[in-house]
């Protein structure tokens, strides 16, 4: 921590997720400073350093490691994170890592294991858990589990391994809301299994709840929604912009559009701001993050089970190397 008690955060990675989400939030926090940014693309990193007030752009990872830091936000492609994580943990640095943790289940397990043994704060950025509309929908149940949750995340274009890359947010939310899953039924449609048209799943959870996953890659536009039912309550988080809580005799709502006098941003709506703030607070207090690497590994295990059952490429290996 710096002399003025600011958390010193280093950033690795200068892609879109750094530019759109992480750096804007970090640069806005009064208790944070960003001493250094490193990327294999030095020019991109240099441009972002100027834009967000980063003090230095490192040309090599070795140069980055020489900086006096409290923690690191790791935003590199998932295929190369294992090149950085052990060295960062050896330096006793806390880590916030973009999802998914790794493209293979074995690597996820290894990284979760080394994270736990390190004693450092290691958090995976499952930001949908922190989105205000999702939080309000979950909190309506006052700590009780709903008996059914429908989680859908549909988009208008295909991408390589879309269920792993994108629908993993919904799988993580289902675990977060319903607990651990005991039984998986799943189906997918595709011509190319690496660019699936859709994936669906019915999940039976240990505490008795049922979760339904729907992820289409041929929708008209991006749309995501979670619906929670049970205990005489219906809670719907609609596109991360509006939450409706319906009781037998009344209805409550949260609208994000007019939030902060109409200046609500995507960063706030999608949960990035609260996710990063949670990480910084855990660095300060040494509390365990709610999306720790250990917890994130359980989401990857469930993802792998869904992929296998649906007939999609599982997490047994890094298929991009084929």
pLDDT per residue as tens digits for the range 2-48: 667 899 999 999 999 999 999 999 999 999 999 999 999 999 999 99
| Mean of pLDDT values over 106-131 | 94
Q: Which residue has the higher pLDDT, 85 or 4?
A: 85
* Position 291 in a domain: no
Residues 104 and 156 in one domain: no
Of all residues in the chain, the percent with pLDDT exceeding 90 is 87
pLDDT digits (tens, 9 = 90+) for 268-291: 999 999 999 999 999 999 999 999
Please indicate, yes or no, whether residues 206 and 312 belong to a single structural domain of this protein: yes
Which CATH number characterizes residue 49's domain?
Answer: 3.40.50.720
90-102 average pLDDT score: 94
Q: What is the mean pLDDT of residues 205-210?
A: 97
My answer on whether 123 and 166 are in the same domain is no
Q: Is the peptide bond before 46 cis (omega within 30 degrees of 0)?
A: no
Range of the domain at 63: 7-127
Please report whether residue 278 resides in a domain. no
Residue 8 in tokens: 């010193």
| Domain contains 22 | yes
For residues 163 and 47, state if they share a domain: no
Q: What is the pLDDT of residue 290?
A: 96
> What's 151's domain CATH number?
3.30.360.10
| pLDDT at residue 81 is higher than 70 | yes
Q: Does residue 262 carry a pLDDT above 90?
A: no
Quick one: pLDDT at residue 48?
A: 96
Q: List the single range of 1-5, 156-160, 296-300, 318-322 with lowest mean pLDDT.
A: 1-5
Predicted TM-score (pTM) of the model is 0.94
Q: Kindly state whether residues 136 and 253 are assigned to the same domain.
A: yes
User: What is the mean predicted confidence (pLDDT) over 154-175?
Assistant: 94
Residues 135, 217 share a domain: yes
Q: Is 36 within a domain?
A: yes
Provide the strand spans (E) within the chain.
7-12, 32-33, 36-38, 56-58, 71-74, 94-97, 122-124, 148-154, 181-189, 198-205, 210-216, 223-230, 233-238, 242-246, 251-255
């Amino acid at each position: 921590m710096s002399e003025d008690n600011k958390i010193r955060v280093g950033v690795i990675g200068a892609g879109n997720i750094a530019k759109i989400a992480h750096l804007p939030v970090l640069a806005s926090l009064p208790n944070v400073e960003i001493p250094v940014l490193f990327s294999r693309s030095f020019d991109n990193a240099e441009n972002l350093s100027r834009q967000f007030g980063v003090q230095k752009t490192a040309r090599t990872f070795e140069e980055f490691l020489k900086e006096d830091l409290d923690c690191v936000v790791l935003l590199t492609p998932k295929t190369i994170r294992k090149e950085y994580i052990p060295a960062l943990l050896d330096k006793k640095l806390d880590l916030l890592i973009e999802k998914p943790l790794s493209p293979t289940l074995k690597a996820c397990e290894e990284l979760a294991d080394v994270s736990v043994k390190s004693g450092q704060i290691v958090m995976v950025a499952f930001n949908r858990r922190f989105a205000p509309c999702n939080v309000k929908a979950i909190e309506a149940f006052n700590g009780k589990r709903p008996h059914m949750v429908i989680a859908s995340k549909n988009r208008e274009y295909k991408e390589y391994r879309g269920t792993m890359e994108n629908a993993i947010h919904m799988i993580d939310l289902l675990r977060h809301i319903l607990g651990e899953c005991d039984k998986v039924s799943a189906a997918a449609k595709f011509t190319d299994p690496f660019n699936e048209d859709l994936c669906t799943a019915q999940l039976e959870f240990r505490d008795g709840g049922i979760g339904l996953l729907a992820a289409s890659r041929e929708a008209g536009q991006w749309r995501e929604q979670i619906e929670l039912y049970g205990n005489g309550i219906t809670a719907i988080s609609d596109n991360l912009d509006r939450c409706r809580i319906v009781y037998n005799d009344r209805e409550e709502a949260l609208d994000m559009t007019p939030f902060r006098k109409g200046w609500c941003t995507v960063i706030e709506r999608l949960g990035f701001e609260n996710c990063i703030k949670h990480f910084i607070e855990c660095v300060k207090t040494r509390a365990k993050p709610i999306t720790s690497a250990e917890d994130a590994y359980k989401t990857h295990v469930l993802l792998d089970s869904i992929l296998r059952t649906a007939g999609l490429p599982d997490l047994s290996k890094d298929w991009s190397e084929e």
